Amino acid sequence: MDTPERKQIATTSVSKFEDSPVFNYINNLSPIQPVKSIHTTQTFNSLSFASLPSVFTSPHVSSYKESRFLRRHSVADLSKPDFASENGNKVDTNGGVTGSVSQLQENSSAPDGNSDSLSNPTKLPSVHPLSTKEEPQAMKSDSARPDCDQKLPDSVTESGEDPALIEPYVHNKSGNGSAEAEANKQVVSLTEEREATGYDWESLITEGSDLLIFSSPNGSEAIRLVQKPLDLVTGFTSSTLSQIMENDNTNLSKMRIADPIESSGGQQEIEFLSSQAGEARELKDMDRAIDSLSFPNSSNSMSREITDDEVARYITDDCKPVSNLYRGMRRRCLDFEAAVSRRKNLEDGSTSGSVSTHPEEKMPSVDKQLVPYKTGGVASRCILTGIGLHLNALATASKDAKTLNQEKFSSEKQLNLPNSSASCHSPSTGLDPRLTSVVTERDMDPSENGVHNEEDAVRASAYVLAEDFNQNSPKKKRRRLEHAGETESSCKRCNCKKSKCLKLYCECFAAGVYCIEPCSCQDCFNKPIHEDTVLATRKQIESRNPLAFAPKVIRNSDSLPEPGDESNKTPASARHKRGCNCKKSSCLKKYCECYQGGVGCSISCRCEGCKNAFGRKDGSSLLGLETEQEEEEPETNQASAMDDKALHGPEIPNNEEQNPGSAIPSTPLQHCRQLVPLPFSSRSKPLRSSFLNVGSSSGFYTGNKLEKPNILQSQPDPGKNTLPGMEDEMPDILCGNCSPGAGVKTGSPNSKRISPPQSDFGLSPLPRTGRKLILQSIPSFPSLTPQH
């Protein structure tokens, strides 16, 4: 019935919800709608405001503003009544879903073949007592999710891991494989165009918001929202956020999807969307998982107004299996950051008297400087915090539409598959939304004192969950990581045996992330459970070497020229922070950190017989300004003897440049690094808050200053010196935003040179900003791109 109309509407008025078509659409949906639209709008506003107070009460507010999606989204919502109606609908659905949480859990437990996931959770308790204690149920729910995803045919799930496989699968799946494939292509092209054009997130968001309206199938549900408590509001935001994110990624897809749910082809379309919005979905899932963990009971409060159909819809839309690995990665990264930031705050106590008691309160300061990881809830954390490389990757994603798209596709495809299959039946998905909302509130509301503990618990649980998910198929995970080498977030896995993962020997630790299941480490202390130990050790190491956790490779992204920026003067260069000391590898193997990081050797390097394909320390580095040139013929300029090597070099570098992440075949780190673009403009100001947030991921590292004169001579200690307080509290993070950039910028790049250019261009060109220095996190993990 509605389908045809809906479609028309969607297609015609996709861009603007304000258009009458939207209203028509709503009206079509349900007779109640007219009332709804009104109510909803108002309600929404009222609700939003109501919720806001809590949020804003805390200093977080600022952070929120900075925060990306959520904040913006919320704003958009407020401004747009139609939007609200839809949101309301979603919220309701969420609530309905939550209502059926128990069922979902059971379903999840169902043996669709994910018995492993279930078993893992059980295992977790022993491993992570905290998480288990706090919210065993929640964990179950989380675990259930994966199951839900897994419900899809085994082949599908597996394919999900491998993007390449996934795509085909998706196509096959959809009745109109070719049609969808085309649609995907279009979407991709669009996204790329956007990035190329310098699409702003905001614009994307707005578009997304528009789309959102269409996407929501049931206008009737909106009314329910009004009735629902404030909690829902928060949920709404989260849900909306997720939607927005999705929308951003897939405007076109949404157009199609607009009606999909009920239309016969709805599922296929849905899948398509999900694939595109994979990233957003993952975030959502994370949030949900967290919510479920932290507030399993919250669902009870929800009134079950949503019908089964609604739930089913919700599931189809939202329940997108996220690659477990991906999830885990983010979480661990985020968690780690959060912990660090938290810890720093506590330690620094000076900022706020009772840090430990009210961690969140302190957060604001941190958030402001860093990224508001907490503000946005888990999902937001992931993105904003960006702490880990992974996060950076996300940020990068925004910048690099291509990478993002790829990641999204891969990730989403995985997710979608499950959904597409009837498997989504499991209500488990339903739970998430609401939970998410709850979480959001929690995060948003700083007033809550107990938050810290809860957060910790959540973190632990999340960590556990991530591990659990990962455990499902370690092999698969590895595969993903490998394949995905692209996804930086894919985080690293270590194999430490004696360091307990508390030394820089440990890649995970060095990267600022907790070890996760895929790690083969022994006696590992780099886990949320041992947060204190980790932080203490970290601090100790930092005291020894402030730059210890700073990105080893510092990049200056040429790709984005800022008008008027000094960047023009400064050569784009990326180089290893400390330089390498290779003697036998000729800087042609991954033993060489410079090579591993995809950067050329610089003056700071003490290597012997340098043949670094990315740039030799001899002279190639000088060429650095023009990375491209160097890349093309780094060695040509230099000694002829090197030519042979150079030949090899060029090839590699080129690859990297083109696909930074891929450039270095085996190392995922590059991806991460690439992804990690920090927003430091020459002036050290982040182009956009969003970027900053993202950049924060590197935050850990970013905080550090560039020691090496070669690269950044400029300003010695910009970060720490300038902002001691900041440093203390959030040296890493803060520095990330401020110091690094400043340092880099300030440091007259010109003065020092940098060697070879890196492939940064291709890697992460920030669309808008001119040149940006990007700190590459060492970690090779796959990042956003993901990969997974």
What residue ranges bind DNA (CB under 7 A)?
A: 494-501, 503-507, 510, 541, 544-545, 548, 552, 578, 580-586, 589-593, 596, 666-667, 669, 780
Do residues 557 and 571 make contact, with C-beta atoms less than 8 angstroms apart?
no
Cβ 609 to DNA, closest distance in Å?
9
The sign one gets for the Cα dihedral 128, 130, 132, 136 is negative
Chain centre distance of CA 442: 20
CB-hemisphere CA count at 13 Å for 342? 25
CA angle, residues 126, 329, 742, in degrees to nearest 5: 130
Do residues 606 and 579 make contact, with C-beta atoms less than 8 angstroms apart?
yes
Q: Considering only CA atoms, which of 355, 434, 431, 372 is closest in space to residue 71?
A: 372
Nearest residue (CB) to DNA, 366 versus 603: 603
Cβ 506 to DNA, closest distance in Å?
6
Alpha-carbon gap, residue 197 to 755, rounded angstroms: 29
**Residues 6+ away with beta carbon under 8 Å from 611:** 586, 587, 588, 635, 642, 645, 646, 648, 649
Cβ 666 to DNA, closest distance in Å?
5
Alpha-carbon gap, residue 384 to 764, rounded angstroms: 17
Nearest residue (CB) to DNA, 208 versus 668: 668
Cβ 668 to DNA, closest distance in Å?
9
Cβ 613 to DNA, closest distance in Å?
12
Cβ 763 to DNA, closest distance in Å?
18
C-alpha distance from residue 5 to each of 24, 218, 308, 530 (Å): 9, 14, 24, 56
Nearest residue (CB) to DNA, 114 versus 780: 780
**Residues 6+ away with beta carbon under 8 Å from 6:** 25, 28, 214, 217, 258, 259, 263
Chain centre distance of CA 398: 10
Nearest residue (CB) to DNA, 285 versus 507: 507
Nearest residue (CB) to DNA, 41 versus 596: 596
Nearest residue (CB) to DNA, 476 versus 578: 578
Alpha-carbon gap, residue 745 to 566, rounded angstroms: 8
Nearest residue (CB) to DNA, 358 versus 500: 500
Cβ 597 to DNA, closest distance in Å?
10
Alpha-carbon gap, residue 193 to 187, rounded angstroms: 10
Nearest residue (CB) to DNA, 204 versus 521: 521
Cβ 500 to DNA, closest distance in Å?
7
Q: Considering only CA atoms, which of 673, 671, 633 is closest in space to residue 653?
A: 633
Q: Considering only CA atoms, which of 415, 390, 423 is closest in space to residue 492?
A: 390
Cβ 477 to DNA, closest distance in Å?
14
Alpha-carbon gap, residue 703 to 508, rounded angstroms: 18
Cβ 468 to DNA, closest distance in Å?
22
Cβ 713 to DNA, closest distance in Å?
17
Nearest residue (CB) to DNA, 304 versus 530: 530
To which H or E segment does residue 578 belong? none
Nearest residue (CB) to DNA, 499 versus 557: 499
Cβ 526 to DNA, closest distance in Å?
10
Do residues 592 and 572 make contact, with C-beta atoms less than 8 angstroms apart?
no
DSSP code at position 581: -
Nearest residue (CB) to DNA, 572 versus 601: 601
Considering just the CA atoms, what is the radius of gyration of the chain in Å?
24
Nearest residue (CB) to DNA, 264 versus 544: 544
Segment 684-689 long-range contacts (CB within 8 Å, at least 24 positions apart): 684/718, 684/738, 684/741, 684/742, 684/743, 684/744, 684/745, 684/746, 685/741, 686/737, 686/741, 687/562, 687/766, 687/768, 687/769, 687/772, 688/200, 688/201, 688/768, 688/769, 689/65, 689/66, 689/67, 689/68
Instruction: For the sheet with 575-576, list strands across it.
Output: 575-576, 553-557, 772-776
Nearest residue (CB) to DNA, 525 versus 761: 525
Cβ 744 to DNA, closest distance in Å?
19
